[in-house]
Structure 1
Amino acid sequence: MDKRSTLILSPKKLLYDRIAEQGTVSKLDLLEAFSLTKSTMTRLLEEMTGEGLLIESGFGQSSGGRRPILYQINPSYGYILGLEISRVYSSIGLFDMQMNPKSIVHWRMDEAFTPEKFLEHISSQIRGFLRDHQLVASQIIGIGIGAVGPLDRDNGLILRPLHFPAAGWNNLPICKLVEERTGFKALLDNGANTALLGERWSIRHASIQHMLYVHAGAGLRYAMMSHGSIVHGTMDMEDAIGQMIIQTDGPRLDNEGNYGALEAFVSVQALEQRARSEAEMGKDQIPKTYKVSVEKLTYDVLVQAFRDGDSHARELFTQASIHFGIGLANVINLLHPETIILGGALIHSHESFFQTAVEVAQKNTYRYPEYQPQFSLGQLKEEAVVTGAAIMVRNHMAL
């Protein structure tokens, strides 16, 4: 179990989180939401304003008496770093307390990005952020990390990530290493969870309670939110959705996992392997068209061919999207979310991938159309993981 979920929040922290969620509130709004006396509420608001946690942001509408003072969290009370560690692209961002992004940087991961080079790179980026925004280290609250799993969250470890381009990432004490290199306290969760935190934050005023996030890229990852909170299982296995069997006599990806698993049909590696196999048999003209060898027939080349209208590339991606839709329907029929957010390289390869996957998922959703979950590409997209990682730090800030 995630030990952090057992923390008892102080009244001050509960008020802070409520104000952060709502944006701008009056004392009356807060009195209606919490079982606190008027004098206690007044004292807490005065303390939090004096400490710089809150600022007064004007006056609300009068209901007959004096206009009420409105409060919001102070955006410049401190700053939070969000870090994404993924197999294809990684990112780091700087956010104020209202989760306004001050700077976000993305980079491609390759064989050279060992943990040591990765730490050097993020340290350089952080120094640049502080310099560009005229900040000092003491203004940084902490750094949240959304990483590819599996993880040991409580001990800050990346365990055995599959398909990582560089060596050295197994059993890596990433929180300890980041803290030693940067001097900032680090918190870890899997990237799918932080992406869902970020996307939920972007639509928080819609009051959606049950959300599903599915990422399709170098692997398949998912996260679930129920009653506004991330659902953590006994083990951190965000990639377990990729092991859902959709064809009992189907292939196995890289001699790992289940035969006929979803990831053997829907992943960057699966598409590359199928395209190369067919090219070797002379069924695929993409290498000739794009002047690459079969060994160099990468996902990027396949995406370009798909977008250029190549019929074989279109067939590859269409079959993957159909299988993905079947997998989505299976998860939806188990969890019954209100909203499903889809992300990752495959989802953004072409608009038809998303459309086909959604159509297949809807067709196979039990009691559709009486039950109609909403599908979305999300608001934050490639910035969801770093935003959610920063939100995680703010959520665990002690007050």
Structure 2
Amino acid sequence: MNHTIFFVSSLLVAFQVICSGTNHNITKDYENQIKRRRFQDLPPFKAPVIGPCVKHPENCNLSPILKAEIVSYRPAVETIVREVLDGESKGRAYKELGKFVDLFGARVSGSKALEDSIDYMLDQMKQNGLQNVHGEEVVVPHYVRGEERAELLTPRRKHLTLLGLDPSVGTPAQGIEADVLVVTSFEDLKAKAKQAKGKIIVFNQDWQGSYKTTAIYRIRGAIEAATVGGIATLIRSITDFSLNTPHTGGMTYEALIPEIPAACITVEDAELLYRLQESGEKLRISFKMSIYKLPATTSRNVFGEITGNEKPNELVGLSGHIDSWDVGQGALDDAGGTQISVEALYLLKRLGLTTHRTLQAILWTSEEAAAVGVGVADYVKRHDKELANFSAVFESDSGTFNATGLDFAGSEEAG
């Protein structure tokens, strides 16, 4: 409990969020004199909570003034923690998350379900007393998954479960039938480049220890396969655990390199194909995939605020993306992120806690449709001159699990 309180207190003081109403014994003249950023003495990113202090491996050097200010926030933080763990707010975010995904399911870019979910969240923000609630229109791509099937033809017939990647091209209408080359890495592919021309390239890469490091095979698989003459690629799903379940996700192409169809197959099928090849069998697969790119349509980024009472023009953003992939309900990616973003503001409203700066909940649209989310990119372009008003922007989009710290990215000026 004490660890949680100190960690939350550090975040509050870092961004001047909560007005505790207590005397910090810090004069504004002194603050102006040293002109310190509130967050400059905090530990760097991903600081784990250890013992009575927020520790960083190199040290946790906090000035006495900053320590005193952090301690002064204890009553407000204790109130927040008690309300979340034992009060009426206990389990509320989880319950609302369940209701949201049950009501709307998959919320793929361009879909009616996405727009219905946006209408719902706008209404919820208003009902929970947020200010300046509005949507901001964004032109987004409209993706619809078509027919997808693959079958191992030799040395025996077997259905291969797969999911196409976005923005992969489809196969010709009649599909593709070709011999197969299974490789275990990009280096393995390069070593076997002379065997690759005209074949379907199957990547059976090992789990690389994390999603981010393994996903490079999904992201660049089509590029690397096409570079050596592959006509399509099937990639082992990016997961360390599988129950014959394929995973979808994003991928990329590069200029001047042929765009070939790309899909993910299950871990089990990738390993089967590898074992068959290693035993000397010749592999042949038929593969058909149709993807429909419909005309672009209009969606919305969603905003709701608690207006700051001292620095209303300075913003702290809490955000997640409201869209999802089309083959699941997107509970973790990223309905969980959107719910905790709005619930944080609802909680402060219910407790009557005021803020120095304006807190803004932001629900980005069409994040999954591009390497940089469409909604985010549109906002940055449209509000370029206003970005300096943000003291910080948080996004929860790495899974809604136990909170262990914060990733920080920014310029030298920012931190």
TM-score past 0.5 threshold:
no
> Larger Cα Rg: Structure 1 or Structure 2?
2
Q: When the two structures are superposed, what TM-score results if normalisation uses the length of structure 2?
A: 0.28
Greater share of residues in helix: 1
